[in-house]
Chains A and B, each alone.
Chain A
């Protein structure tokens, strides 16, 4: 009867950095086709959670499963083939390469297979981000911050991910550019892309998300639908600062 389907599940995830216990039993899930926001202040453990999901950190305890398979400890490149792609904070695009080549690199897992869909996907990315089409011959490094973010997202989408992980996609962007990025997420959501997005800007993220989690000091303190979280005091605090009072 229920139409949702679990794609990603974390249960009781524990991660240590040396002697520092940074994730203390994090549990969350993302259903197929859902946009889920992971919110919290700096140091709450959001990025660590993403890094554990995409295989960059090995959890000390707890389980991660993706499409029914246990993936804790699986290498990152294998996870990409399985369908998990991350757009890291700070974009990390290839500066000397052209926009076009950067995008093609995103499909590297498929180029070897001579996937005919690559051309089609390129067209789709150019439709999604017309500015990338205009600048397709330019060096990636010459793009503005917002354009680089679009390029990083476009490159990730070229891998045709089943799950797209976005780490602070609006960090350091001008408000208007950030808004464009968020609009892109809305559009991807309408197309059925499953997204887990880490954001400090709770209000912006919850406007495009279905659900969200709020993290504090390595733990989840709140789970709920986007509109419930927008009404919640802890979320307003996380976003607006402790002593902010709404008028």
Chain B
């Protein structure tokens, strides 16, 4: 049996866990009400007293928290403690409009590190490994989060971050990296680079990879494993829950073990907001249980999954969430950056030359994911070719700047999208 980082919590008796969750949930609700004006206002409006939570199931009486709530609270309004207690900030990956902010106290960082260490251990990474991390280090929580966890288990960490592909490959060769951590699309880009350089992946020392921050199918997993000669594990997190460390696969690979001592997970019907039957699919909702700087009640993740509480062959008793392939909203994720159609609409509204009818098309060219934003022109300009080129350049530049990703812009003839009635806002051709 493979190693377990915190058996005390990961293998906790379910009844004991339930008690711990109740205690931490009540304390979190009490602190939210006491220290966060946003929550006090909202609970008062709904005439809910914090003591309404007498059992874990009473959680359902509390209102949801949404991404919009977080955006409106930018940057400090949800922080539950004076800034002198805060030792770190991270921002959500989307760069548009108001980003969402997560703050950490010293205790929050310590917990985060431990949770990531659990995921790494479950993913068979040990102190013997040379770990190459190509998540971005910066406002995005991915790089720092995985880095801290990898150091905590004593691995030798290479914080390569978003270095260019040739450098990634050179470091992988020179340092004989055994573990890769980053975005699955980037892992495939590395695989492509190896092929282009006519390097055999089995000449490297790769053994294992932990990938996340964007949806990736089982086919893609098989492809990564084949092309990089490693065993690939899925890890799950979201910046609002502090980043990576929320859940991760074990060698059984039958779902991702959720850190239930820190996050209370629910699955709801995204339309009605009601809980779905046990084990059924729906939108994941998380409540933080030990967060000091930024506690969140019933945060709607937008991720579609299900939760299985049956015991796992690895010995952990923690519930497993199904891998996330879909979202309840139209959010598109590319290169780990979240793109909401509403953000695109806001930018397009600045340009009278185009209508509000647009579509996001995600596709894969070779190993690289591409985003194509297709938008209808209001009318056909007089000096066709020149005008169109100029408009396209302007809008594309503005979109790139606002969304923070490279993209392609396609201008469509008037009425070509909505003439056919409704059309999907997001078309993802990457998952087959």
**Residues of A with Cβ closer than 8 Å to B?**
1-4, 6, 9, 11-12, 14, 24-25, 27-29, 61-62, 213, 216, 219-224, 228, 231-233
- A219 B55 Cβ-Cβ under 8 A: no
B23 at interface, CB cutoff 8 A: yes
Asked if A220 and B292 make an inter-chain contact with CB atoms under 8 angstroms apart, the answer reads no
Bound: A62/B54 CA distance, A:
8
Q: In whole angstroms, what is the CA distance A85 to B7 when docked?
A: 32
| B13 at interface, CB cutoff 8 A | yes
Q: Which B74-133 residues have C-beta < 8 A from chain A?
A: 81-82, 85, 105-107, 110
Q: Are B12 and A25 in contact (CB under 8 A)?
A: no
Query: Would B54 and A61 count as touching, CB distance under 8 A?
Result: yes
- Whether the Cβ atoms of B16 and A2 lie closer than 8 Å is yes
CA distance A167 to B12 in the complex (A): 30
Contact of A27 among B19, B105, B317 (CB under 8 A): B19
B22 near A220: Cβ-Cβ < 8 Å = no
Can you list 19 pairs linking A and B with CB atoms under 8 Å apart? A1-B7, A2-B7, A2-B8, A2-B9, A25-B51, A25-B54, A27-B26, A28-B23, A29-B16, A29-B19, A29-B23, A213-B23, A220-B27, A220-B30, A221-B27, A222-B31, A223-B24, A223-B27, A228-B107
Segment 1-20 of B: residues with Cβ below 8 Å from A = 4, 7-9, 11-13, 15-16, 19-20
Given contacts A216-B30, A233-B82, 16 further A-B contacts (CB under 8 A): A1-B317, A2-B7, A2-B8, A2-B9, A3-B8, A6-B13, A11-B55, A12-B22, A12-B54, A12-B55, A14-B54, A24-B51, A61-B54, A220-B26, A220-B27, A231-B107
Interface of A is mostly: strand
Give Cα A116–Cα B317 distance, bound, in whole angstroms: 44
How many contacts between A and B, using CB within 8 angstroms? 80
B9 to chain A: which residues have CB within 8 Å?
Answer: 2
For B8, list chain A residues within 8 Å (CB). Answer: 2-4
| 4 residue pairs, one from A and one from B, having the closest CB atoms | A1-B11, A12-B54, A24-B51, A27-B23
Does residue B50 face the partner (Cβ distance < 8 Å to A)? yes
Closest to A28 in B: B23
Q: How far is the CA of A24 from the CA of B58 in the complex (A)?
A: 14
User: Chain B contact residues: over half helix, strand or loop, or mixed?
Assistant: helix
Question: Across the interface, do A9 and B19 meet the contact criterion of CB distance under 8 Å?
Answer: yes
- Min Cβ gap B312→A in Å is 12
B54 touches A2 (CB 8 A): no
Q: Is B290 an interface residue (CB 8 A)?
A: yes
Task: Count contacts on B: residues with CB < 8 A to the other chain.
Answer: 35
Is B53 on the interface with A (CB-CB < 8 A)? yes
Cα-based distance from A136 to B391 in the complex (angstroms): 97
How distant is B68 from chain A, measured CB to nearest CB, in Å? 28
Chain A residue contacts of B23, Cβ below 8 A? 27-29, 213, 220, 223
Task: Report the Cα distance A12→B55, complex, angstroms.
Answer: 7
Instruction: State the CA gap A35–B293 with chains docked (Å).
Output: 27
Q: Would you call A219 and B106 a contact (CB within 8 A)?
A: no
> Is B138 on the interface with A (CB-CB < 8 A)?
no
| A233 pairs with B110, CB closer than 8 A | no
* Residues in B whose Cβ lies below 8 Å from that of A220: 23, 26-27, 30
Q: How far is the CA of A49 from the CA of B55 in the complex (A)?
A: 18
A157–B50 Cα distance when bound, in Å, is 39
B54 near A219: Cβ-Cβ < 8 Å? no
Bound-state Cα–Cα, A6 to B23, Å: 14
Chain B residue at smallest Cβ distance from A234:
B31
Cα–Cα distance between A4 and B16 once the two chains are bound (Å): 9
Determine how close the nearest CB of chain B comes to the CB of A171; give it in whole angstroms: 26
**Which B residues touch A24, using CB under 8 A?**
51
Task: Please determine whether A224 and B19 come into contact, CB atoms closer than 8 angstroms.
Answer: no
Chain A positions within 8 Å of B290 at CB level: 224
